[in-house]
Structure 1
Amino acid sequence: MLSISQKQRILGVLLLGLLTLAGSAFAKELIPPLEGYPPLTSSFGEYRSGHFHGGLDFSTGGQEGLPVRVPGDGHLFRMRVSGVGYGRALYIRLDDGRTVLYAHLSRFNHALEKLAREQQDRKGRYEIDYRPAQNTVRVSAGEVVAYSGQSGAGPPHLHAEVRVGGGAAIAENPMDHGWAIQDTIPPRLTALRFEPSGPGAEVNAEIDPVNISLPKGEVPVVNVYGPVRLWVETQDRANGGRYRLASYEVIAELNDERMAHIQMRAFDWNHAREVEWIFHERLAREKSGRWVNLSRTPRTKSRMYKETGSSETDFTFPAGSHRLVVRCLDYSGNETRREVRLVVQEEPSAATATVVRERGLRVQGNYLEARYPLPVKEAPSVLDPYGEESTLEWISRETRGGGVVFQTTGAPLTESGVWSFAKGTQKEQAAWVSLQDPNFLAVTDSVRLQIEASDLYEPMWIGISPQGWPGVFEKEPELIPVSQSFRLEPWAYPLRGSISVEIVSDKDLDRVGVYSRHGDRWSYEGNDVSTLGLKTNIGNLEELALFRDVRAPQVSLILPKAPKADSTPRVKAKIVDTGSGVTWRTMDMEVNGQSVICEWDPDARVLQSHLRTPLASGEHSVRVSVRDRAGNRTVREASFQIP
């Protein structure tokens, strides 16, 4: 009789054969975009804020202007020009149906540059998103269509993607299309992260997450009780590069049976935010490494998880001793593997090794914790959504140092609602969101959450915890707090969609917005004033507060030096705003009273003109107007001479 692993290997061979037949239309390898095989600076599928990295980044040695070639016969599908994002970008639809994207270009070839200028002049702005009719702008294999650069985001490099489908929504690993590079260096596999994911669960007697280092040649022992989630810390590099690439493949096997499998081969741009589930969003924000999530949720649509016979979010292992092997591979097949001896206990430890230093309520997703640094006998006082004494069930655990931790247990709640918890003189609240409620409005004293079931990966608790009034930050002196801040827990937890958050306020809301905290900075989220306070949409659970932006953008004009007659000199403006921020849509530049096409570079914080008509000798006037998101406006005027 075949074992499960043997069946999986046979199934894998059959699936590979089917994929080969299905992909025969794309059997032809693409011409590389650059001469030779420059090293990679980023690989397919890496973490980016809000999305996967959709292609390969090729090093250009710090230079701009390297010729970029068409990989096959086709036509121009789309042309985008912007000072942000992809910068100057081309989408080439090949005759076989594939779409190739080149981004961060310095310029297009002569014909396409002329086409871009025509579209800019027609729109009257620098930013364009142009889609010509099919086959009206033909390109040939090997033709130079553009030159590498750093538009949109630097430093200089070439970003190249391969997409499939009529809407070009499916990104595929370009290495599958002939752009594989020389690579003889195996990935790094440095640690495993075990996160207890249920009431009573523990790892090495800890109820908090535990990171297990994986030194070569050693087999660490990990003691586990209850359900856990598993994360792998791994990075890769190729010849001539540094360790910053994503490993192509991560596989976990328990007693030689495959339990998890991730492969960076394709993703759907319609579900690109699932990067925040596959990679540990909170640790990524804190720059604490790149952790890959082996725990799959049934609600993820990611193409990167491969079928292993289970789609459970949490791993629950049978009691006893087990051999856990994790393997990380790159595209060339170079492999690193590490082993852990997993000892699954039949009962939890008598006391958790976790040290509790302060009293508080913790939201762990599908359960709650109330932590006390001193011994107490009773669970916290809780009121249910109807104001009655709650029937929530708790288990208690003693902690090192004499404290106590209470954890909610029992069957999952089927009805959504808001529960209130006493914390001294302050009240904390938590909303239970059941996936059985298609649309749920969580109303607390100061915050309202509008949540649809489709916005969540799983039913969960969302904590709403007041954090007090934020101070005025030295880096953002123009932001004055108008409300206390509220932390939604678990902080940075990923959402499938966006939930609506309203902070109720009876204050004057002129120039006030909702901001989220990122370290020692606050970032503008929105200022919808159609409700009792201010409302915005968020894609992760954040710490939020209302701030008033009291300072207009700082604008300094940079006039051309010694310009020549009948030339098109660059007029620039340095724009700095550390409050609500600025966008190209709220900027305008006039030369001699006429609005001109101008490019906004947010990295350099510079707005610069792209004059179409040469300037004659004499005096010329410049006027720049900039408005921030809060509505503060700055206008600067000056003049310069052309001899």
Structure 2
Amino acid sequence: MKRSYGIVLFHILFYCASSLFSLFQNNSFAVEPEKYIWPIEIDGYITGNFGECRWDHFHAGLDIGTDGINGYKLFAIADGYVYRVRASATGYGKALYLKLNDGRHVVYAHMNDFSDDIKRYITAEQKKQGKYEINLYPSEDMFPVKQGDVIGYSGNSGDVAPHLHIELRDENEAPLNILTHGLKLKKTDTTAPALRNLAVKPFTPYSMVDQHFEQMIYPAEKVNDSTYRISAPIETWGQVGLKVDAFDTERNGQYILAVHTLKMFVDDRLLYTISMDSFSYGDEYHNNFFMYDRELKYTIADPLKGEYMRLFSLPGIALPMTSQAPGSGFLFCGAEEMRGEINFLTAGDHAVRIEATDANGNTSKLICTLRVSYPDIMSKAYTVARPATASALVLEPYITFYESFFTVTVRTSESPAEMPSVKINASDSTLPVLSTLVHSNNHFEYIFEPVTGKQCDYVMSVSARAADESVVKHESVFSVASIGTQGGTFVSADGEFSLSVKSNNRGFIPYVEVADIDKSAMKLPVLSTIYQFNPRGYELSSPAEITVKLNQPVPKNSVFAVFEWMGDYWRLLSTTPSPDNITATARIGHLSTFAVLADSEPPRIEFVTPSQKMPFVKMGTTVVCRVMDDGVGLSYTKLMMMVDNSSVPAEYRYTNNEFV
């Protein structure tokens, strides 16, 4: 029976979850001649490009911004046919997949709509299945396309900002850099990449950079539009690796983009190359932070924060986008025990040149000098003319952890008669002192490596002799875990935080600190201590498991889970609490800041059409409501709309939280 007006019962059902890159062996890279047309009716501007570092993956396509406007025509870049059509509230949103006559595939993502014939096809299937989320594979002869055909319209489905994400893939679905494989920018790009900062990291207990065990960062001076330099020589010793803050920009400089190629030369010898040409959708896709440095991208303070790319390969993670001389990009500076290494640098000055090139061939360079010299601090002897008396001598020891070793720093109130003695005993052994550094007559540093592969308690005994031959002593107990390549476990001193690693490509020392985060401004109740897990930003070669113990009662009618602090918001990791509400567990791929948070508030629903003011609507009116959540977030794929107890397709739109 037809009705022009009526009262319709609406139910919103929802659930809340409260090749990598090609190898380059010479100084040039191959770019395919232009064979594809521009995919959108406007010039647009590049907001993201191939190989760019995203939160948990390499960016696989080219993003063309549309100035906040939806609805621009999208064109087939070459002859072919539609082989896949997809609609989703998340990910690529409305997406179209073409197979081209040259064997490659191309993906158009975040579309606002499809061409009329494709729209009729997908709408019919959505109504038939009673849901919006759909993934279809039409036959080869159903939707053939010619180069230049309109296949749909740009939008922001599955995302917030309107733009076209276009992605070129080879016949095996491996993404290709479209700007080096047949597509040219609409407007000429003459801007060379920027090389803003250089980080130099020491890797062993015998390695230092400018007399420090810590990674050091050096801002680069811009000489001209394509040349950057660090004027003062950088003193290095032992095994070190370089990381460069390198990025490209689109023509107005608003967006930070990935460079296409990075090369590291030492004394004019090419030792390492990164080339953003292609990768596969396997582990390589998610291993972006084995190339980019997570800590230097997200957690350090401005202006040193940036897009740092490692010019060396971490052990066991030789990504195929890199090409390097033997030595994996590491530099072995001066130490005799390293003389057999391929990239051994003798004492003296060595010229470093780092070149960055974009997909249009614009090139810039950063030049600096590594000065290989034995650190004075390692050879400095301790002498004192007037040692302190026992009554005036106070010992202040403290421990500093690095990735694979730790140091004991001893400060004294006055100068002792001789260097203090530091002994560290485990249950069945005494740790040897690897090296001793004399910073001053009342500042000393001792280097140790822990017992590998286990966590144990150590007894530290520090003593110093005064002028009258009396001895001042300090004794304490501390715990250190050393995770080896075979894995291991770590438990915090308070017993409320644990880490379990099954295997890893390199050893490290985990430790935790209580994070300095203001809980009062948080929307969700915090049920545990907030732990900063160190070494901060450390990448694990395989997922590990953390367990966090609750120290607050669980609010009534709430769920709780492990979250990661992202600097200005909490990111949900897991919703697998223990049955007894004592702990929560999550899988992690890197070390960061973690806590258990609770969510007791259900999502909110606000009807826009129909509404309380206008409950009667015409037949054919689009039903619109807003669905929002301040807690762990919505499970977008489980949102459901029902009309008169029948499921109907409805799309969730991020921009204004609308369910339509």
TM-score by length of 2: 0.77
Q: Distance in 2 between matches of 1:29 and 1:303?
A: 27
More off after superposition, 565-574 vs 335-344: 565-574
Matched with 2:563 is 515
Instruction: Say whether residues 1:124 and 2:104 are aligned partners.
Output: no
Distance change >3 Å, CA 550–CA 565, structure 1 → 2 = closer
Within the candidate set 459, 465, 468, 2:512 is matched to: 465
How many equivalent residue pairs?
A: 571
- Counterpart mapping for 1:299-310 below 5 A: 299-310=316-327
Deviations 1:394-420, CA, capped at 9 Å, x for gaps: 43434479544443349xx7x522234
SS in 2 for 1:534: strand
AA aligned opposite 2:530: S
Question: Is 229-238 or 525-534 further displaced after alignment?
Answer: 525-534
Q: 1:284 aligns with which of 288, 297, 306?
A: 297
1:269 aligns with 2:269: no
- CA 1:115/1:228 → structure 2, altered by over 3 Å: closer, same or farther? same
Helix, strand or coil at the partner of 1:262: strand
Asked if 1:480 corresponds to 2:508, the answer is no
Q: Which has the higher contact order (CA 8 A, sep 6+)?
A: 2
- Partners of 2:478 and 2:80 lie apart in 1 by 60
What displacement does 1:163 show? Answer: 1.2
- TM-superposed CA distance for 1:254, in Å, is 0.8
Distance (Å, rounded) in 2 between the aligned partners of 1:380 and 1:558: 72
Aligned to 1:269, the other structure's residue is in SS state: coil
Deviation at 1:297, TM superposition (A): 2.3
1:96-107 equivalences under 5 Å are 96-107=102-113
Structure 1 residue 67, shift from structure 2 partner: 1.1
Cα distance change of structure 1 residues 429 and 571 upon mapping to structure 2, 3 Å threshold: farther
- Of 620, 626, 629, the residue aligned with 1:567 is 620
Task: Tell me how large the CA RMSD over aligned residues is.
Answer: 3.5
| 1:419 matches 2:425 | no
State the SS of the aligned residue for 1:225.
strand
Are the counterparts in 1 of residues 511 and 535 from structure 2 also a CA contact under 8 Å? no
Task: Report what 1:342 is aligned to.
Answer: 370
**Residue pair 2:577, 2:585 contacting (<8 A) in 1 also:** yes
Q: Is the 8 A contact 2:348 2:371 kept in 1?
A: yes
* In structure 1, C-alpha distance between the alignment counterparts of 2:411 and 2:641, rounded to whole Å: 60
Query: Does the CA-based 8 Å contact 1:370-1:380 persist in structure 2?
Result: no
Q: 1:508 to 1:62 in 2, by over 3 A?
A: closer
Distance (whole Å) between structure 1 residues aligned to residue 57 and residue 355 of structure 2: 25
The equivalent of 1:87 in structure 2 is 93
Give 1:277 shift.
1.8
Q: Are the equivalent residues in 2 in contact too, given 1:266–1:303 (CA < 8 A)?
A: no
Q: Where does residue 267 of structure 2 map in the other structure?
A: 255
Which residue number corresponds to residue 78 of structure 2? 72
| Unaligned runs of at least 5 residues, structure 2 | 1-22, 224-228, 334-344, 381-395, 414-418, 461-473
Match of 1:160 in 2: 166
For residues 346 and 71 of structure 2, the distance between their equivalents in structure 1, rounded to whole angstroms, comes to 59
Q: How does 1:497-508 map to 2 (within 5 A)?
A: 497-504=542-549
Alignment of 1:173-572 (within 5 A): 173-181=177-185, 182-217=188-223, 219-240=231-252, 242=254, 244-270=256-282, 271-286=284-299, 288-311=305-328, 313=330, 315-316=332-333, 317-349=345-377, 361-371=399-409, 377=420, 379=422, 381=424, 383=426, 388=428, 391=431, 393-399=433-439, 402-409=442-449, 416-420=453-457, 429-435=479-485, 437=486, 440-442=488-490, 445-453=495-503, 456=504, 458-467=505-514, 472-476=519-523, 478-481=524-527, 483-504=528-549, 511-529=559-577, 533-560=583-610, 565-572=618-625
After superposing the two structures, state which structure 1 stretch, 466-475 or 485-494, moved more: 466-475
Aligned counterpart, 2:465 = none
Partner of 1:582: 634
Q: Which residue of 2 aligns with 1:636?
A: none
Q: What per-residue deviation string (whole Å, max 9, x for no partner) do you get for residues 373-431 of structure 1?
A: 66794558564xxx545536443434479544443349xx7x52223467999986543
What amino acid maps onto 1:144 in structure 2? Answer: V
**Closer, same or farther in 2 for the Cα pair 1:64/1:371, shift >3 Å?**
farther
Percent sequence identity over matched residues? 22
Task: Name the amino acid aligned to 2:519.
Answer: V
Task: Supply the distance in 2 between the matched residues of 1:593 and 1:400 (Cα, whole angstroms).
Answer: 80
Decide whether the 8 Å contact of 2:193 with 2:249 is kept in 1.
yes
Tell me: CA distance 1:419–1:581, structure 2 relative to 1, closer, same or farther (3 Å). Answer: farther
Deviation at 1:345, TM superposition (A): 0.5
Residue 173 of structure 1 and its aligned partner are, at CA, apart by 0.7
Residue 255 of structure 1, CA deviation: 0.7
Cα deviations across residues 508-555 of structure 1 (Å, max 9, x unaligned)? 766221122222543321132468732211121122222332333344
Provide the C-alpha distance between the structure 1 equivalents of 2:126 and 2:642, rounded to a whole number of angstroms. 16
Report how far residue 61 of structure 1 moved.
3.3
Q: Give the TM-score taking structure 1 as reference length.
A: 0.79
Q: Which one has a bigger Cα radius of gyration?
A: 2
Unaligned runs of 5+ in 1: 1-7, 21-25, 353-357, 610-643
Return the letter of the residue paired with 1:580: V
Report the secondary structure of 2:78's partner residue: coil
In 1, Cα distance between equivalents of 2:360 and 2:117: 39
Contact 2:200 / 2:217 at 8 angstroms: preserved in 1?
yes
From the superposition, tell whether residues 144 and 296 of structure 1 become closer, same or farther in structure 2 (CA, over 3 Å).
same
CA pair 447-238 structure 1, distance change in 2 beyond 3 A:
closer
The alpha carbon displacement at 1:113 in A equals: 1.5
Partner Cα distance (1:518, 1:421) in 2: 34
Change (3 A) 1:27 1:361: same
